[in-house]
Structure 1
Amino acid sequence: MMEEFDRKTDGGKKVTIDLIMLSSFNRAGGGRETWAYNFLPRLLQEKAEVSLYIYGLKNNDEADHSSAFCSYFADSSRRRLSVKIFNAAKSRLPRVFLMVGCLLRSPPRANGVADELRISLGVGSVIELAMILLFRNFRTQRRVLWLRGIYLHEKAPRIPFFLEALARKIEISILSKAHVILANGDDIAEHYRALGLEVTVIKNGVDLARWQMPPPTLKAPIKVAFVGRLSKVKGIEEFFRSIELVRARDEASNFEFHIVGDGEYASRAVELAKLGHLKYHGAKPNDEIAEFLRNIDVCVALTFSSSTLGGGGTSNALMEQMAAGKIIIAWDNPHFRQLVEEDIAYLVGQGRCDELADTLVRICGERDVALAKALGGVEVIKRYSFQAQVDRFADIILAEH
């Protein structure tokens, strides 16, 4: 049973948010988890009228992260917080079905008193909104979906081409039932607007003070890092290839390559680390990334973006790396153009491993230019903060409608 808590607030209309996110809320999980650990504690601290019920799902053999997650909330906020992370049974069924089953066995709380503004907030994709629609207590509230990707782009390799049109129709049909759709990037918003949906953008935020650090030294060997999920769409194959291209050049001794993350290509990273081609650090919780970046000069941002691929909003990792003053090399695509231009980053043709290798060598010969770009990135990222994110969410969602 979920814990009951004191509903008295400092004034204003009481607001209750039921948040559904298909996540175990592991701090090292990725962009959504980074958002949850930073945005939600600030929301409760800033908005005393808000109470938050959170529903998630962990694998059967995974640790329970609910206590760690709750520790990020101020003591004064915890009486307005309840976290329920269900334990998924071992099964070959998709995780969404397992979470629906858990919600059926442990039904959502009853609706509150009449003077409350009640909101059902799905964070992620159409899947979270579908779960909201399945349960009357969620469905009868104000339905808000905060998109953090383009679902069919992410699942494209698994969907037979002859079912793509049907899948798209089903997705749009479900999304149209949201009262408000938010997106964490212009690329996501533009995709769904083209399909006839109204979408409001609230871009990701970054804790500027936490990521402040001395500028890169660019002393040999220059340390180059890939931080993120080790998957094809994130460009890890191209990073591996670029490392080999640099190693074949006379300037190879000027570079040292690092990888932080986990995923389907982790075994390949381990193999290359054993050969001495790179240093593989495995997955790190976001709390440890700032310290790791202190010793890094250059970060690569290689997520792919096209009409049928990508669409991940503004990148948490890129924003943090910019705030840390790192030199950025990124694919020249709409995904990254949301944050960077050529005056603050090195933009290379998407998928062009040769250009990526050439750019690394170029940095060796124009260190002052590279450091100036990094400093410009710090100035640009000052526009983005979690405080601004909370304020915009409050203006759009918490106001009475």
Structure 2
Amino acid sequence: MTAKTHNNPVIEKKLIFVINSTFPSYSGGIENWLYNILKSIPEGYTVRILSIKKTNAQPFYDIPLNSKISVKQIVTLRSKKYYELLNKFPFRLIMFVEQIYWIIKATYKLVLDDSEIIVALHSIPTIIPCIIAKGMNRNKKVICSVRGVVGDDYLSMSKYFLAKIYMILEKFFLTKADKVLANGWDTKKYLLNIGIDSTVSPNGVDYKKFSKNYSVFNENSNHIRMLIEKQKGGAKLLVHVATLRGKIKGIEDVIYLASRIKKESQYLNEFYILFVGKGNSRPYKQIAEKLGVLNQCIFLGEIKKVERILHISDIVVCLFRGGGTSQAVIESMAAGKPIITWDTLFYSQIIQNNIHGLLIEKNNFSDMVKAIDKILSNHSLTHKLSKNAQKKAEWFDWTQVRKRLFNEINHV
């Protein structure tokens, strides 16, 4: 614990977050969580971040670097501009070579670092150098924040062998950690099934920012302004926030939903689905064109001020999969928007059906269309869902999430 007396200076705990990405240049769920944790470090801590250096990249996040926060970076193949091209080789061989190199370099950095507590942001491969460093210096403590089911990407691509290897490694290294945090109650259940006890430390939301009513859209986007004008004429705007990547993000499902809405909706004559998230939209536009809904699917790319897009929407549709408390869902709740999603633990751990949103049987697109019609034609239901969701989202405000996290760190 931090000691503070009138005669002695404050003895600060040294903490290092280890993240296997090019943070702060890269944005994603883990990166966004870390950025919001760093916004307010409690007294008695100095924090370092160990990440991967990205050559000539501009930071996506404005990290408040000062005497309490610093960043250490490792140069790997991922630092180079040509990495993405190399990673297209069969079996993603370059990725595995790069990861092994990263583990070696990260282990070296952590062994030399004088931080008392290491926080690994996700399990495999991030936890590996942390546990090795702990083995070489018994005074170090390791906390692992598990961010969903490891190997999920490989499972979604039917690469079961690779997923199995990741899961075996995960269980082995998690048993060596001093504390395990889960990013949701579904992740906690998954960990319990493999014999790992954990404490839930969820994602959060800037409640004040997302609950604010933005009466005017100030962004310099003719595209958005055009959609707002169409909305005034009766068109409805649906939003889906997720990276354009793989089946796990549900992009293809949302495009298919658009085709079903077009055919089956009794209420929507004109609608647009706004896809917010980075990634290559070309293959998804091709799918939309084949299904006859290219004009209804609008790919906006990565947007920093997501709250403004949420506030012009009529409904938020969440069809992505994954593990943990989804930040996109929590932000939509804080924005006071009606949410429609699948009835799975990933969503039901946050949303109670017909109270905070509507939960639909997984892959039942016909009922999904009916639910959308139900919300848009029932203003009292929309109001109830929105207000209840917004009230629940307050519990996930970053100030509360941060406080609970450092309470766990204090007791490691």
TM superposition score normalised by structure 1: 0.82
Distance 1:156 1:397, change over 3 A: same
Residues 245 and 159 of structure 1: CA distance in aligned 2, closer, same or farther (over 3 Å): closer
- Whole-angstrom CA distance in 2 between matches of 1:133 and 1:237: 38
Hey, what's the Cα distance between the residues in 2 that align with 1:199 and 1:136? 19
Per-residue CA deviation, residues 311-345 of structure 1 (Å, 9 max, x unaligned), is x2101111011101111011111011111112120
Which deviates the most, 221-230 or 149-158?
149-158
- Residue of 311, 318, 324 corresponding to 1:301: 318
- SS state at 2:120 partner: strand
* Cα distance in 2, alignment partners of residues 275 and 168 from structure 1: 39
For 1:378 and 1:138, the matched residues in 2 are separated by: 47
Identify the range of structure 1 (271-280 vs 118-127) with the bigger mean alpha-carbon deviation.
271-280
Alpha-carbon deviation of 1:208?
A: 0.7
2:70 aligned with 1:82: yes
Distance change in 2, residues 1:87/1:357 (3 Å): farther
Determine helix, strand or coil for the equivalent of 1:78.
coil
Q: 1:169, 1:103 → 2: CA distance?
A: 21
Measure the CA separation in 2 of the matches of 1:380 and 1:271: 36
Question: How far apart are residue 100 of structure 1 and its match?
Answer: 2.7
**SS of the residue aligned with 1:247?**
helix
TM score, norm. by length of structure 2: 0.80
Choose which of 107, 110, 113 in structure 1 pairs with 2:112: 110
Match of residue 291, structure 1, among 288, 308, 327: 308
* Cα shift readout 1:213-255 (whole Å, capped 9, x = no counterpart): 3399986212101111223112211111110111224644242
1:63 aligns with 2:80: no
Further displaced range: 88-97 or 290-299 = 88-97
Cα drift, residue 202 of structure 1: 1.3
Q: Does 1:314 align with 2:319?
A: no
User: Alpha-carbon deviation of 1:157?
Assistant: 4.5
Aligned length: 368
The answer on whether the counterparts of 1:204 and 1:384 sit within 8 Å (CA) in structure 2 is: yes
The superposition leaves residues 187-227 of structure 1 with CA deviations (integer Å, 9 ceiling, x where unpaired) of 10111112211111112221111112339998621210111
State the distance in 1 between where 2:166 and 2:331 align: 34
What secondary structure does 2:278 align onto? coil
Please give the alpha-carbon distance, in whole angstroms, between the structure 1 residues aligned to 2:209 and 2:267: 34
In the TM superposition, what are the counterparts of 1:211-230 in structure 2 within 5 Å? Answer: 211-214=210-213, 220-230=234-244
Q: Kindly provide the CA deviation profile for residues 126-158 of structure 1, in whole angstroms up to 9, marking residues without a partner as x.
A: 321112123468864101101111103333256
Aligned letter for 1:279? I
* 3-state SS in 2 of match to 1:256: strand
Letter in 2 for 1:83: V
- Residues 1:257 and 2:273 are matched in the alignment: yes
1:185–1:313 contact (8 Å) kept in structure 2: yes
1:159 CA displacement: 7.0
Aligned pair 1:100/2:103, yes or no?
Answer: yes
SS in 1 for 2:207: coil
What is the distance in 1 between the residues matched to 2:393 and 2:129? 35
What amino acid maps onto 1:299 in structure 2?
Answer: V
* Equivalent runs, 1:122-141 vs 2, <5 Å: 122-135=120-133, 140=138, 141=140
Higher RCO, 1 vs 2 (CA within 8 Å, ≥6 residues apart): 1
Q: Which moved more, 1:335-344 or 1:93-102?
A: 93-102
Measure the CA separation in 2 of the matches of 1:57 and 1:322.
Answer: 33
How high is the sequence identity, in percent, across the aligned residues? 21
Q: Which runs of 5 or more residues in structure 1 are unaligned?
A: 1-9, 305-309
Residue aligning to 1:282: 301
Alignment partner of 2:211: what SS? coil
Compare 221-230 and 89-98 and name the one that shifted more: 89-98
* Partner Cα distance (2:104, 2:113) in 1: 20
Superposition RMSD in Å: 2.9
Deviation (angstroms), 1:397: 1.2
1:270 touches 1:280 (CA, 8 Å); kept in 2?
no
Offset of 1:28 from its aligned partner? 6.4
Structure 2 residue ranges without an equivalent (≥5): 1-7, 78-82, 87-93, 216-227
Matched, 1:372 2:384: yes
Q: Deviations over 1:48-72 (max 9, x none)?
A: 2211121112555x7142xx64x44
Is the 1:213–1:325 Cα contact (8 Å) retained in structure 2?
Answer: no
C-alpha spacing 1:213/1:80, structure 2 compared with 1 (3 Å): closer
State how far apart, in whole Å, the 1-side matches of 2:342 and 2:26 are: 24
Distance 1:29 1:248 in 2: 36
Please name the residue that 2:209 is paired with. Answer: 210
Structure 1 residues 53 and 163: alpha-carbon distance in aligned structure 2, compared to 1, 3 A threshold: closer
* Alpha-carbon contact 1:327-1:374 (below 8 Å) kept: yes
Deviations 1:266-287 (A, max 9, x none): 53137748941222101223xx
More off after superposition, 238-247 vs 80-89: 80-89
Amino acid at match of 1:82: S
1:51 pairs, out of 41, 46, 54, with 46
Aligned to 2:89: none
Q: Quote the Cα distance in structure 2 between the aligned partners of 1:58 and 1:356.
A: 43
Match among 277, 284, 298 for residue 268 of structure 1? 284
